[in-house]
């Protein structure tokens, strides 16, 4: 970038390496206290900057976009998901948006396997027993869980993350089924069974794992009716979006033992997850940690900055929306 440095605001605290690059290349305004700005704060910020590097916690909808100062022409989100953005409204106002795909595949796939194993092997119960000093010693029937070997794994959404989960699950000798908008070519399918209709796949899902985008068609996909299509004692894993699951239905199924266990990293209205999950001993819960590795988060920040660099150099950002 030539000439005076563009003014860029980072709306949350980001990894050190990301902030250092932003300060090197921009007249950067950081948020060291990691204080959520809210709509009014974002509007005020837009008056003094040329671009924003935002997080998924910053909801940029049509109402907010209508209030942004015309000076702010570029918004780069530190995320793959874009359900917090109104891309069409931004285009209408001449604002370019971008995201950060393809850099958190391995990190998220690892968390999916952690959730799968934690749910299947009753890890939350074991941890709770130890920390409460309630373990009285080994017994032959203590904390009997489900072995993943030979289990049928159903993956909804066979993009990069879904395929990475399938690759790892094969190392556990799991049998892979998947549902996707389009069937994969044989070299990427690697013997997995394709189901055009995700509902039709549920009956073979000893473990059901979500890796699809949020969309109106998938809103609360896993409801009470579809839970009844799963095998008795199935395990549900979600590292995609909380809105894919009907919380009331899943909680009821976990309480009744219809679903043996759930491993969840994402929730509707997070961080205000449904309180019914907290007391469940068969719910293995994590606080949206899917991409929480140094490597993945740095790569996300660098990709967001790559998009900003391209825009301010007069080019189309490589991951423009």
Task: Enumerate the active-site residues.
Answer: 241, 270, 288
| Half-sphere exposure of residue 7: CA atoms within 13 angstroms, side-chain side | 9
Distance, CA of 59 to CA of 135 (rounded, Å): 45
Quick one: angle between helices 294-312 and 16-25, nearest 10?
Answer: 20
- Alpha-helical (H) ranges within the chain are 16-25, 38-46, 62-65, 87-92, 105-120, 123-131, 160-170, 186-189, 198-201, 224-227, 247-256, 294-312
Residue 75 contacts residue 304 (beta carbons within 8 Å)? no
Residues 6+ apart with CB under 8 A from 79: 55, 56, 99, 100, 300
- DSSP at 221: -
Radius of gyration of the chain (CA): 22
Separation CA 181–CA 86 (nearest Å): 23
Nearest to 146 by CA among 260, 285, 263, 284: 260
| Number of CB atoms found within 10 A of residue 263's CB | 28
Beta bridge partners of 28: 8
């Amino acid at each position: 970038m030539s000439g005076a440095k563009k003014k860029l605001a980072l709306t949350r605290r980001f990894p050190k390496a990301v902030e250092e690059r932003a300060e090197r290349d921009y007249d950067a305004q950081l948020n060291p206290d990691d204080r959520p700005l809210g709509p009014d704060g974002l509007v005020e910020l837009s008056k003094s900057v040329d671009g924003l590097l935002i997080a998924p916690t910053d909801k940029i909808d049509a109402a907010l976009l209508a209030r942004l100062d015309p000076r702010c022409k570029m918004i780069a989100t530190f995320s793959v998901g874009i359900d917090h953005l109104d891309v069409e409204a931004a285009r209408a106002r001449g604002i370019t948006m971008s995201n950060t795909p393809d850099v958190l595949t391995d990190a998220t796939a690892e968390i999916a396997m952690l959730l799968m194993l934690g749910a299947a092997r009753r890890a939350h119960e074991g941890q709770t027993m130890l920390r409460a000093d309630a373990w009285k010693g080994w017994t032959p029937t203590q904390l009997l869980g489900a072995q993943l070997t030979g289990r049928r794994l159903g993956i909804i959404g066979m993009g990069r993350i879904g395929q990475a989960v399938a690759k790892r699950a094969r190392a556990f000798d799991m049998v892979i089924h998947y549902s996707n908008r389009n069937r994969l070519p044989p070299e990427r399918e690697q013997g997995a069974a394709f189901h055009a209709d995700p509902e039709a796949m549920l009956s073979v899902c000893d473990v059901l794992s979500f890796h699809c985008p949020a969309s109106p068609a998938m809103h609360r996909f896993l409801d009470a009716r579809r839970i009844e299509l799963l095998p008795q004692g199935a395990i549900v894993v979600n590292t995609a979006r909380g809105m894919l699951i009907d919380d009331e239905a899943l909680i009821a199924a976990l309480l009744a033992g219809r679903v043996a266990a759930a491993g969840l990293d994402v929730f509707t209205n997070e961080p205000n997850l449904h309180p019914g999950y907290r007391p469940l001993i068969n719910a293995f819960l994590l606080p949206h940690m899917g991409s929480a590795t140094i490597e993945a988060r740095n790569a996300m920040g660098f990709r967001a900055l790559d998009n900003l660099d391209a825009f301010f150099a007069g080019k189309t950002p490589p991951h423009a929306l």
